[in-house]
Amino acid sequence: MRLTKKMLASFFSIAILFSFVSITHAEVLEVLVDNGASSPAALSTKCSPVEDFSEELQTKIQNIKDTFLSLPNGAGLAATQVGYTDRFFVISQEAEGELIYEEKKLKRKPGQPLVFINPRIIEESGNQIGWESCFSLPGYIYKTERPLNITIEASDENDNKFTFKTTGFWAKCICHENDHLDGILCKAKALEPREAPEDE
């Protein structure tokens, strides 16, 4: 998911992301794009649960992080968007919320994108209607309805289990990324026809 000016108008508190500086790494992957006429198969693939926290998985996680960090105004990026079918996504290091590890002594690492492996939304409440966009659907934004508050459980890259409780924009972002793992793009949830963003 990426941020646009229109979305920022609704979610002023995340304006700080516009000061985000892109970093280029060697392992930046191509983000797959559904251009309306054709869509790569990976974008509609339901991901398989991660069972082995192998070296191969660590490489994939690093590649997704590097790809994410190379993107302008990034809020999150899911495995399917770079052609992986493992059940994980990342969201921005700027994401606001309460992260609690099952192993209480573990703490969130500042300045690092959050990795959600085998995520599961365990609580949701309220609803919000607003705009969202996606790196795999460039040039358009979509009006959707999402829960206002969510709690999600997942594992980090070291298979440490945690819960993350968040609200507003970040709840929407996590729902968006979680949908990617079931092969669902936000355009499938659009309440109205897509709209070209003002800042493109």
Cite the active site residues: 177
Q: Does 47 bind Zn ion (CB under 5 A)?
A: no
DSSP 58-72: HHHHHHHHHHHHHST
- Residue 181 lies near Zn ion (rule: CB under 5 A): no
Among residues 1 and 57, whose Cβ is nearest to Zn ion? 1
Q: Which whole-number Å values give the CA distances from 125 to 25, 86, 109, 145, 161, in the listed order? A: 38, 28, 27, 12, 22
Pseudo-torsion of CA 77, 78, 84, 85, nearest 10°?
Answer: 180
Q: Which stretch binds Zn ion (CB under 5 A): 91-99, 103-111, 118-126, 127-135?
A: 127-135
- Determine the interface stretch with Zn ion among 40-48, 58-66, 112-120, 130-138 (rule: CB under 5 A): 130-138
- Binding flag, residue 134, Zn ion (CB under 5 A): yes
Task: Rank residues 98 and 139 by Cβ distance to Zn ion and give the closer one.
Answer: 139
Give min distance, CB of 37 to Zn ion, in A: 19
CA–CA separation, 190 and 194 (whole Å): 7
Which residues are bridge partners to 137 per DSSP? none
Q: Is 3 one of the binding residues for Zn ion (CB under 5 A)? A: no
In a 13 Å sphere around the CA of 153, the CA atoms on its Cβ side amount to 6
By the criterion CB under 5 A, which residues form the site for Zn ion? Answer: 1, 134
